[in-house]
Amino acid sequence: GNSVTQMEGPVTLSEEAFLTINCTYTATGYPSLFWYVQYPGEGLQLLLKATKADDKGSNKGFEATYRKETTSFHLEKGSVQVSDSAVYFCALSNFGNEKLTFGTGTRLTIIP
Amino acid sequence: DVKVTQSSRYLVKRTGEKVFLECVQDMDHENMFWYRQDPGLGLRLIYFSYDVKMKEKGDIPEGYSVSREKKERFSLILESASTNQTSMYLCASSFSAAGLEYFGPGTRLTVT
């Protein structure tokens, strides 16, 4: 079956630091990969996605590259801001199956 | 913009009560989902629906049921609430595109 493994949090960084949140997956076939973000008190919202190998998803300064050889989809940002404090979820879905499989989430806190 | 609304942000119920959580989406999406979110466990799928009057069990359906009488509305029912159902409940909807889900703000349910 499908599974997603994220680095455990919480992660605390200073403003303007470089961010990496690791995500690896197990899936049959060629899944689509997603990062969702949940800001305090809100539901999840899609941050970025990639649908095939070597695709790079990007949004709001965040990037993630679909690496089939390492089954990874690590989230990166060059300079984080306090407003990036949130919980980040890595997820996947297989073509033809609308269900998402989520990782456990990584709580990120950015301090000024 | 897609909008997914949930009937309550916070709810407190007593053990044994019947609880209804309502979710409405305004974008004519076929697919709707109910998740619960717990610390350290991420999101777990309770039930989902691909069409009106259709429902499928997710990963943790025990103690829950659902109803989808209209395309825009998906209800989660706790027949007899128990304390281990205290959690954050998230509703989501999607069109046919695999994995692209829009989430509501969540209902934090406390069962005492």
Question: B67-106, pLDDT tens digit by residue?
Answer: 999 999 999 999 999 999 999 999 999 886 556 788 999 9
CA distance A15 to A20: 14
Cβ neighbours of residue B62 closer than 8 Å, sequence gap 6 or more: none
Mean pLDDT of chain B: 92
Q: How far is A77 from chain B (nearest CA, A)?
A: 22
Read off the pLDDT of residues A18-27 as tens digits, 9 standing for 90 and up: 999 999 999 9
Chain A residues whose beta carbon lies within 8 Å of the beta carbon of residue B106: 42-43
CA distance A79 to A88: 16
SS3 content of chain B, % helix, strand, coil (to 5): 5, 55, 45
Beta strand pairing status for B107-111 and B10-13?
A: parallel
CA distances from residue A35 to A44, A46, A63, A109, B79 in whole angstroms, order as listed: 10, 6, 10, 17, 34
Per the DSSP assignment, residues forming a β-bridge with A13 are A110
Using 50 as the pLDDT threshold, list the residues of chain A that sit under it: none
Note the pLDDT of residue A97. Answer: 63
Q: How many CB atoms lie within 10 A of CB A41?
A: 9
Q: Which residue of B has its CA nearest to A37?
A: B103
CA distance A84 to A61: 10
Reading the block at residue A6, the tokens are 């994220």
Q: How far is CA A83 from its chain centroid?
A: 17
Collapse the DSSP code of A72 into the 3-class scheme (helix H, G, I; strand E, B; otherwise coil) and give the result: strand
Q: Which of A42, A45, A93 lies at the smallest CB-CB distance from B98?
A: A93
Reading the block at residue A94, the tokens are 């297989």
- Look at A43 and B4 and tell me if their CB atoms are within 8 Å: yes
- Residues B54-75, mean pLDDT to the nearest whole number: 95
- Tell me the HSE value of B61 on the side-chain side, using a 13 A CA sphere: 10
